[in-house]
Amino acid sequence: MNYKENYNLWKNYKDLDQSLKQELDTLDEKQIEEAFYQDLTFGTGGLRGIMGVGTNRVNIYTIRKATLGFARYLLKHNLTDGIAISYDNRKDSKRFAEEAAKVLAANHIKSYLFNALRPTPMLSFAVRYFKASGGIMITASHNPKQYNGYKAYDQTGAQVNPKTADLIIEEINSIKNPFEIKTADNDLIQKVDETFDDIYLNAIKDIKINDEVKKVKIVYSPLHGTGGPIIPQFLMDQGYEVHPYTPQMIVDPNFSNTKSSNPEDHEAYENTIAFAKDIDADIVMVTDPDADRLGIAVKHDGTYELITGNQTASVELYYLLSQRMKYNLLPPNGHVYTTNVTTKLIEVIARSFELDVITTLTGFKFIGEKAEMYQDTNPYIFGCEESYGSLISDVVRDKDAVQAVYMLAEIANHLKLQGKTIMDYLNEIYETYGAYYEYTHAISLKGIEGSKKIQEIMSFFRENPPKLEDKHLLGYDDVLKSIRVEDGIKSHLDLPKSNVLKYIFEDDTWIVFRPSGTEPKIKIYYGTKQKTLEEAKAYLQTIDKQIMKIIDEI
């Protein structure tokens, strides 16, 4: 159906949810087209979009439709061992989770429904713990408050891969009328209470390496989200001095006490850093609303330095490998997992410990898929991506900020006992391996016109590889076409097809162009290795200006 037909179907439905009906009556023609011109689709994080009325919005009807499609996929493939369901702090997240459970119940599928908001990694863990056939997480992760979403998980605890997502989408697209979807509230909906917290937390305690006297002082914020009920008390129980930032501990869909719900944004730290200064804390830890991403700020030379996701992952990996080797706990044939937009420093560190490195596309579902593939032959060691996500123990098959907080608390404490900070440690890593630095420039391009602009940018660079004055282009990956070109010679690229371009230059310099799978953005990733961190930062700023000038002229 075109957007007008979709609109009329919704307009004429007499039992439409009252709040959605009121919104529908206020839409102008442009807003109607935006709300109905397409159905929401699965991206790297599942289904995600602005909440509101319409087929292109997140509401009870699109949630029911997605769940019915998921249910039909499960039944068709005889995956009938139940679905774990959790949710975050966003508006209507709990209601959406309950609606999903009711759709499953109407299709005779059991669900394990958390009775209070809980982190995404706990949902992934629950899928494996209950030996369920999959999972659903109602969240928009780090997106602004207007967004909500739906992450679908398979029986391994990882987000569904593209092949499975396509099969689910086929089922979803076969549902023509979202208002005819049946729901049921019965005994197939089993509640998961707070006693499950200890089961999860006991499983991740095993990542601890050094159990030392606790001296580090920690400020923590969940940014109004799911980390609040779990993380501070867990750290305190392990003996850490934790100071939760109370205004952001409140479960709040409006994110009233923070300028950003994204730990990648500097403004997300303004209040917690001010609080840290007041109490002279050593480290600030901030998790996103569904507690799969962690950002930190470290007190160093009297100021609080923000650490990027690439830097945090590098610190975690080096500490894990060096300390496990020290105690003879490092298996010789283990795997480290990274993505094609993550710092090359991860690969360099891992190979220095003679470990194999598996590189995937962006999205932890790809890391989870590979970890499952190799679980019987190659022990899982560590996985990460540049966007502030990492995973230490694969009892979870998604990025896990609870684990990251726990490990970074240990690292910060271990270093403080030596009179060092994480910044000192990071500088030691750079001295050993070189000054690797990365930068991401995200360009927001909303709506239909924005989508067209993103495609124009990708088409331009696909036909016109970027040129750097002082760096020779060694090769490039066109992931959509599954080709790698090195020195003019084409070969097959063994990655799932995706609209991603990566250009590789001399001196470990690279550029990646990638439309976001979950937001109306195109992201340009840059990486380089220079003699010093300052030189690396300055060089990437120069490259970015060149690329932005080209984009402005497209």
| Tens digit of each residue's pLDDT (9 = 90 or more) over 385-440 | 999 999 999 999 999 999 999 999 999 999 999 999 999 999 999 999 999 999 99
**Position 315, amino acid:** V
Contact 422, 315 (CB under 8 A): yes
pLDDT on residue 45: 59
Q: pTM of this prediction? A: 0.95
Percent of the chain with pLDDT over 70: 99
Residue 477 clears pLDDT 60, i.e. is over it: yes
**89, two tokens:** 């702090």
Question: 161, 366 in Cβ contact below 8 A?
Answer: yes
Average pLDDT over residues 481-492: 94
Whether pLDDT at 187 is above 90: yes
CB 264 within 8 A of CB 142: yes
Instruction: Give residue 364's Cα distance to chain centre.
Output: 7
Contacts of 470 by beta carbon, 8 Å cutoff, 6+ apart: none
In terms of DSSP H, where are the helices of 329-400? 345-352, 364-374
What is the DSSP annotation of 214-244? ---EEEEE-TTSTTTTTHHHHHHHTT-EEEE
What's the pLDDT at 15? 96
Q: How far apart are CA 83 and CA 150, in angstroms?
A: 13
In this predicted model, what pLDDT tens digit does every residue of 75-133 receive, in sequence order?
999 999 999 999 999 999 999 999 999 999 999 999 999 999 999 999 999 999 999 99
281: pLDDT confidence band, cut at 50, 70 and 90? very high
In the predicted model, is pLDDT for residue 516 greater than 90?
A: no
Confidence bin at 43 (pLDDT 50/70/90): low
DSSP for 25-74, written as a single string: TT--HHHHHHHHSS---EETTEEEEEBSSSTTSBSHHHHHHHHHHHHHHH
Instruction: Give the whole-angstrom CA distance, residue 140 versus residue 419.
Output: 39
Q: Pick the closest to residue 139 from 258, 290, 268, 251 (CA basis).
A: 290
Tell which residue, 192, 188, 185, 160, has the closest CA to residue 69: 160
| Interval 524-545: pLDDT, tens | 999 999 999 999 999 999 999 9
Residues forming beta bridges with residue 439, ordered by sequence position: 526
Q: Which CB contacts under 8 angstroms, 24+ apart, belong to 236-240?
A: 238/205, 238/214, 238/406, 238/409, 239/214, 240/214, 240/216, 240/409, 240/413
Residue 436 or 449, more confident: 436
Q: What pLDDT, on a 0 to 100 scale, did the predictor assign at position 85?
A: 98
Residue 406 — φ and ψ, nearest 5°?
A: -60, -45
What confidence score (pLDDT) does residue 203 get?
97
Coil, strand or helix at 84 = strand
End-to-end CA distance of the chain: 32
Distances from the Cα of 200 to the Cα of 138, 206, 287, 403, angstroms: 19, 11, 18, 11
Spell out a b/e string for 221-250, using b for 16 or more CB atoms within 10 Å of the CB, else e.
Answer: bbbbbbbbbbbbebbeebebbbbbbeebbe
Report the pLDDT value the prediction gives residue 545, as an integer from 0 to 100. Answer: 96
Residue 376 has pLDDT above 80, yes or no: yes
Backbone angles phi, psi at 514, to 5 degrees: -150, 115
Confidence at residue 141, expressed as pLDDT on a 0 to 100 scale: 93
Per DSSP, 108 falls in state: T
Whether 517 shows a pLDDT value over 60: the answer reads yes
| Number of neighbours of residue 297 by Cβ within 10 angstroms | 24
Residue 44 confidence (pLDDT) above 60 = no
Do 140 and 91 contact (CB within 8 A), yes or no? no
Residues with active-site annotation = 141
Mean predicted lDDT score pLDDT of the chain:
96
At residue 324, the pLDDT reads: 98
Give the span between the Cα atoms of 471 and 516, in whole angstroms. Answer: 27
- Token digits of residue 413: 């404490």
Q: Tell me how far apart the alpha carbons of residues 525 and 536 are, in angstroms, rounded to a whole number.
A: 14
Closest CA to 58 of 175, 120, 150: 150
- What does the pLDDT look like over 314-349, one tens digit per residue? 999 999 999 999 999 999 899 999 999 999 999 999
Residue 146's pLDDT is: 96
Determine how β-strand 111-114 pairs with β-strand 189-192.
parallel
State the pLDDT at residue 318.
Answer: 98
